[in-house]
Structure 1
Amino acid sequence: MVNNDSKQVDRIFTYAIPKELLEKIDLGFRVKVPFGKGNRMVYGFVVEFYDVIDASIKKIKYIKSMCDDFPVLREKDLKLITIMREKYLCTYIECIKTILPNGMFKGISNKVKNVIRTGENLKDRFCKEPYVLIYNIVKKNEGKFNKNELSKKFSVSMSSINTMIKHGFLEQGKLIVNRYNERQYKAYEEKILNDDQKKAVDMILNCKKNISLIHGITGSGKTEIYMNLVSIMLQQGKDSIILVPEIALTPQMVERFKGRFGKDITVFHSKLSLGEKYDEWLRVKNGKVKVAIGARSAIFLPFENLGLIVIDEEHETSYKSESDPKYMAKEIAILKSHIENCKVVLGTATPCIETYYEAMRDEVELITMNKRADGASLPKIEVVDMREELMNNNRSIFSRKLFSSIKEKIAKKEQVILFLNRRGFSTFVSCRKCGYVFKCSNCDIALTYHSEGDYLSCHYCGNKQKALRVCPSCGSKYVKYFGIGTEKVEREIKKYFPKVNTLRMDFDTTRKKDSYENIYNKFKNGEADILIGTQMVAKGLDFSNVTLVGVIAADLSLNLPDFKSAERTFQLITQVSGRAGRGKKKGEVVVQTYNPDNYSIKCAASNDYDDFYKKEITIRRDMNYPPFSNIFCINMSSENENLLIKNIQNVAINLKKIISKNDKIELLGPCPCVISKIKNNYRWQIILKGDINNKYARKIKKLVYEIVKYDYNSIRISMDINPINML
């Protein structure tokens, strides 16, 4: 396989091995090879060996050199790559680039620093000052500093240092600089498991299926179960991977795991630099660490003796990749379980419908935990009908109940979390005279107003423009900001509670590398009274002094044009509600909605997952949605709308011919996507729903590319089986 993104070269190429490499090269090695008519040097990966050259190959090329002194891919990885390519309709190189650290393709390797060490013992005229002083300093700080650092830090002569190097009393050497976190954490003592936790650990260890689902309410002690399992794996000499859905949760998990097991735990997520990722990957590759904590991509870390994969909050959509290969972390974990014979534990208070359906069919071991670990009760959830608030002339974003509860908790020195799944100040800006809506010039999406900086922003392409006070369509000054975002919630809180300290956790406040951890630590340490955030605050976070959670607008996720909207609403309300009352103080939750009778909101308010599941699975069965079918989404985009429409209509005509004899597959479309334009590209889609397996999907992919081949450079094609959203 060669490092070339073109789908036309997505195959295995044959190269000869030069004699000098015969004894060194093996499966999984990265090599440099001449490729194409111009023999341009590219990376290649050794995936197969042949004793006899195929007779059809006339002029075989030779491998030029090896890039590393170790194989970057294991045989287990090669098996996984082959399966992923078929399952996710992607190329070999897309799989390889997903498994290996990005820096490896951009020239990143070990960071090396020149350092000074002691050489021969001092003698003759060198036994005098300043040579003795310099020699002793270097001896005390062996291999820590280079010449410049030594001279500046200890105020010693550079000339004397150079003289000592010249005569061999000091030597210059190389030091590999570690680019990973070696910070020490406060000890996190092991807790005695309660009966439910002990039972869960036993069931997981003795599960013949190797796949377990812990359906445990918020605060039921799932993290302590994970840590107990990791401890058992370490005793058995096995490795563990712990996945969390958001980087925001990583600091909390790292704090606990490193506090329990020491510093030698790798942390792997997208906020790391290319160098940091490479070093963490290499630590795993070299067997220096036995445990990894991270977001989705950590699932591919090359542990040699993998015994356990934990996917915390398994229902989260962030476990699905939006770029090729469009993998789901849970599916990769199950594949690795078959390849590497390891345990997989899925944990959540709100399992995704498909996972729970598998548990009901006994395909996954189900472990139910209905009590909080410390005996605390679940918070009381009160649903407020915002229609009644309007009838009572309350036009504030806070209901009377939520406002009074915030006031009460602040007076008691307790903390509050306010959740709104939309960032910015206003969700759209419109002219009240002519109805003009300020939209992005590149995308079919309304611009969001941000008060900090006074600008309008597109949350899809990132386009920004200065906020206007005059309508560009009719020239009127009746420009109004509609809807609310996290910025507006923060401003309203400061207006009503000027002495209260607030923190905001959303995409805008967490762009910098350590911002998640800084916000987490400040709130944990009581430096803020109210945390306002998007879905980042809805999962996993554990603050003992939070006694009130306010859900500002529960309808935002409910009104999305997606068959999973009810499920996501139930999950979000249940998860964010679980942040309240996790300490000794009782918690309460206020859910504001214009749709209080919806079953997802009513079930979340009563914390009744089983009732929600029964209602939702009935709808899914009646509508033939997953888990009763697969959805295959074909998305095509282009700057040339006419060319796009012509091609996608042609695809649809040919697909109808293929599925006309198959009454188990339904074709919907072609039609514009809900968001019909992003970054100046028009977007159309076709949706196939029904009994679609991997083989059938690859047949469809081949057909689509065959039809579009003459316009391939002008049209972007994306295909996904069971996409997270179809907007």
Structure 2
Amino acid sequence: MPGERARVIVMNSALGPLDYRVPAGMRVEPGSVVVAPLGPRQLLGVAWDADRLATEEVGDNRLRNLIAVADVPPLPTPLRRLIEWTADYYLAPLAGVVRMALPSSSALEGAKLAIEYRATGHVPDRLTPQRAQALERIGDRQGLVRELAAIADVSDAVIRGLVKAGAIEAVEVDVDLPYSAPDPDYAPPNLSPEQAGVSATLRGAVAGAAFQPFLLDGVTGSGKTETYFEAVAEAIRMDRQTLVLLPEIALTEPFLKRFHARFGCEPVAWHSGLRQSQRRRAWRAIASGDAKVVVGARSALFLPYPKLGLIVVDEAHETSFKQEDGVHYHARDVAVMRGMFEGCPVVLATATPAIETRHQVALGRYAELKLPGRYGAAEMPAIEAIDLLRDPPPRGRWIAPTLTRAIDATLERGEQALLFLNRRGYAPLTLCRHCGHRFQCPNCTAWMVEHRLIRRLACHHCGHVMPTPRACPECGEEESLVACGPGVERIADEAAALWPDARIAIVTSDTIWSPAKAAEFVARMEHREIDIVVGTQLVTKGYHFPDLTLVGVIDADLGLAGGDLRAAERSFQQIMQVAGRAGRGTKPGHVYIQTHDPKAPVMQALVSGDAESFYEAETEARQEADAPPFGRFAAIIVSSEDKDAAHDTARAIGRAAPRVEGMDVFGPAPAPLAMLRGRHRFRLLVHARRVFPVQEAIRDWLGGVDWPAKVRVAVDVDPYSFV
């Protein structure tokens, strides 16, 4: 760098950019990953463009030397611009965003061999409960000692004991083995005329190497994946990289199979389930440009692709693309910005576009490509509402007689059925029938959810678990605990009682926690080893089972509760997605929606298939309320283990709120989830006009308020969660 001085973002969000001296013989350029001294410690950092970041002027005599430069390519210029934009838009520390582009330090080290561990199949003579649990959970997985300990939920010492006993062995791994190159001409598909027209447009956009966002709006089963695969093939031919974002880790495995069938090998995967050696191998292949196609969760968006030619956001309507902790970014929107900085097309693929995305199409900023019909002989399923007031289930049951008869007929034909309820566990609330005591999480203002499969009560917010007691802890009465309301486990119990010969599978994040588990579920469905699936939103997208012809939505009203402005839209999307699992082959599909209010606009839109009228009404309501995409929201969340400190800070922030035209501030008020993970929470909601510079206003506003170190203040721009 000029003047042998480097401006560095160190991996400490409390610090701004710092200047360092570049020792003689060391080459540092913007984007270089460096090791920098900070007090007695050594921290990773990234050298930045000095002209883009202001810092305190420090004389050369006070500068400390950089210690080392990592042997990896510098973060590319478009990625640095994206990091700056993300930090500015979402009011996040620059270091917090930079950290998402860097993996664990192992990817930056030069060594190419690692020692990992795997089970040998030998069962030791001394088999303690913890050792048995470890061997059962590890199965055929492989990893470092601490990774296997985390998988098995045991201490490192248990794993080391199994190594000594010969039940687990060390293996040498070449962690930088090259990936297979996908072949764009391996197995080209037979596309319908509609698919061929859309794929030609996408291929042309990739060849043009210019920024253009597309909404690929196709009904469930229309072949959106096969269509954008042809754009992926074009990027491979041009020696460009492709990023495909998926909303759920469980969707990775079905996608990998489809990709392998089309291109002859699997793409590079990036998600939280990877071992440390796998993350290192993937990151280095991505940074070098050798990884041609990457499929991953939202975190894959910030990886250092040197030659990105296409970005695809699959199931782009999914709310799980919004990160709710750390940097509160929305991957769908950041993907579009990355495409702009990279100069490449971005494809948002979905059967149920978000209103924000439809609005961008209406403004002419996104091009819309439509696939209005299912591929081949498959047709959209018939959808019918079951009025639970007129056709209620028997007392103590949750499946209405009409749906019961439909499942009878489905099973008689040898076909498969899916029962959908977006609620994990057995029951959302457990209480004592004797004294009325309700089991609440000690760390959160939330009820403990009963999970009978593991005989535990669990909090779905902080993860706190406790054994289900025999007696009420309040009054001591035994056998007095009652489960209130249904979860998927309770529906599965009811299904087992109604159809004792049927093979039933429960599919939730509790049972499908990894791509391997998802692959196992897919194989069982394809081999007809499952008759009835009982699942949450995990089964609403991405899966294609030709023999699944019936879908029953147990409680279609569930998602409409609360004051969430997106509640109706989200319910419509979720039920349309789960309905799209039915009749994807040649056999006709049928969907039954159980509801207490069949005349509700969202229910009528689902039954009639008139999505356009529903979206128009929702969009009009948003416009009248100046809600997104016509206005702006930002949430300020104040939290602390000390309730008074959180409350006082929230009030101080509220008193300091600017009174300006175009922006209103509501609150502070206790958050609906007033305590989370042991921290008391208060919220303020900022509502601003679309053109109002809300980030600048909030930055100046909070910059003038001091609060204690024990209080945490987080800003969520464009919030999706209001709890």
TM beyond 0.5 = yes
1:339 aligns with 341
Q: Which amino acid in 2 is paired with 1:633?
A: A
Match of 1:73 in 2: 75
Instruction: State whether residues 204 and 210 of structure 1, in contact with CA within 8 Å, keep that contact through their aligned partners in structure 2.
Output: no
CA change 1:648–1:256 in 2 (3 A) is: same
Alignment-derived partner of residue 633 in structure 1: 635
Deviation at 1:459, TM superposition (A): 0.9
Q: Report the secondary structure of 1:717's partner residue.
A: strand
For 1:254, the equivalent position in structure 2 comes to: 256
CA contact 1:574–1:607 (8 Å) conserved in 2: no
Distance 1:346 1:6 in 2: 32
In the other structure, the counterpart of 1:5 is 12
For 1:617 and 1:246, the matched residues in 2 are separated by 27
What is the one-letter code of the residue matched to 2:42? Answer: M
* Counterpart residue number, 1:31: 34
- State which structure, 1 or 2, has the greater radius of gyration over its C-alpha atoms: 1
Quick check: 1:461 aligned with 2:469? no
Q: Compared with structure 1, are the counterparts of its residues 13 and 596 closer, same or farther at alpha carbon in structure 2 (3 Å cutoff)? A: same
User: Are 1:30 and 1:43, in contact at CA under 8 Å, matched by a contact in 2?
Assistant: yes
1:445 match: 446
| Displacement of 1:189 | 3.8
AA matched with 1:562? D
CA distance in structure 1 between the aligned counterparts of 2:394 and 2:463, rounded to whole angstroms: 37
Structure 2 runs not aligned, ≥5 long: 1-7, 116-171
Give, in angstroms, the shift of residue 394 of structure 1. 5.2
Equivalent residue for 1:296? 298
Q: Encode CA deviations 1:633-691: one digit per residue, 9 max, x unaligned.
A: 00111111112111111111110xx12x31x2222211111111112211110001122
**CA RMSD after TM alignment:** 2.6
The one of 84, 98, 102 equivalent to 2:100 is: 98
> Do the aligned residues in 1 keep the contact of 2:178 with 2:285 (CA within 8 Å)?
no
How many correspondences in the alignment? 651
Matched residue type, 1:586:
P
Query: What's the counterpart of residue 573 of structure 1?
Result: 575
Q: Secondary structure at the match of 2:656?
A: helix
| 2:692 is aligned with 1:685 | no
Counterparts of 1:498-509 in structure 2 under 5 Å? 498-509=500-511
SS at match of 1:430: strand
Checking the alignment, whether the CA contact within 8 Å between 2:361 and 2:367 is kept in structure 1 is yes
Q: 2:527 aligns with which of 525, 548, 566?
A: 525
The share of aligned pairs that are identical, in percent, is 30
Q: 1:444: Cα distance to partner?
A: 0.5
User: 2:25 maps to which residue?
Assistant: 20
Distance in 2, matches of 1:209 and 1:338, equals 5
CA shift, 1:415, in A, is: 1.2
User: By how many angstroms is 1:399 displaced?
Assistant: 0.8
**What SS class does the counterpart of residue 423 from structure 2 fall into?**
coil
SS at match of 2:528: coil
Is it true that 1:676 corresponds to 2:679 in the alignment? no
Match in the other structure for 2:493:
491
Deviation of residue 58 (structure 1)? 5.7
User: Given residue 557 of structure 2, which amino acid in structure 1 is its aligned partner?
Assistant: D
Q: C-alpha displacement at 1:265, in angstroms? A: 2.0
Matches of 2:551 and 2:178, distance apart in 1: 36
Counterpart residue identity of residue 3, structure 1: V
* Conservation of the 8 A alpha-carbon contact between 2:29 and 2:74: no
CA distance in 2, matches of 1:85, 1:679: 26
Once the two structures are superposed, the pairs formed by residues 334-413 of structure 1 within 5 Å of their partners are: 334-390=336-392, 393=394, 395-413=396-414
Contact 1:665 1:692 in 2 (8 A): no
Q: CA deviation at 1:720?
A: 0.7
2:150 aligned residue: none
> 1:472 maps to what in 2?
473
Summarize deviations over 1:41-72 as a string: whole Å, max 9, x none. Answer: 2222211368xx99642633343432422334
1:704 to 695, 702, 705: 702
Provide, for residues 444-481 of structure 1, a one-character-per-residue CA deviation record: whole Å limited to 9, x for no partner.
Answer: 10111111232211111111122234433444554311
CA contact (8 A) 2:550 2:583 kept: yes
- The amino acid of 1:539's aligned partner reads K
The Cα shift of 1:307 comes to 1.5
The residue aligned with 2:714 is 718
Q: How far has the Cα of 1:548 moved from its partner? A: 0.7
Contact 1:432 1:480 in 2 (8 A): yes
CA contact (8 A) 1:209 1:365 kept: no
Contact 1:32–1:63 at 8 Å: present in 2 too?
no
In the alignment, the residues of structure 2 paired with residue 479 and residue 364 of structure 1 have an alpha-carbon distance, to the nearest angstrom, of 54
Q: How does 1:273-292 map to 2 (within 5 A)?
A: 273-292=275-294
Instruction: List runs of 5+ in structure 1 lacking aligned partners.
Output: 115-173
| Residues 244 and 296, structure 2, Cα contact 8 Å, conserved in 1 | yes
Task: Specify the code of the residue in structure 2 equivalent to 1:81.
Answer: I
**Which residue is 2:310 aligned to?**
308
Residues 1:428 and 2:429 aligned together: yes
Q: Distance in 1 between matches of 2:266 and 2:248?
A: 22
Distance 1:521 1:180, change over 3 A: farther
Of 663, 666, 676, which aligns to 1:665? 663
Amino acid at match of 1:306: L
Aligned partner letter, 1:176: D
The Cα shift of 1:224 comes to 1.0
Please identify, of 641-650 and 685-694, the stretch whose mean Cα deviation from structure 2 is larger.
Answer: 685-694
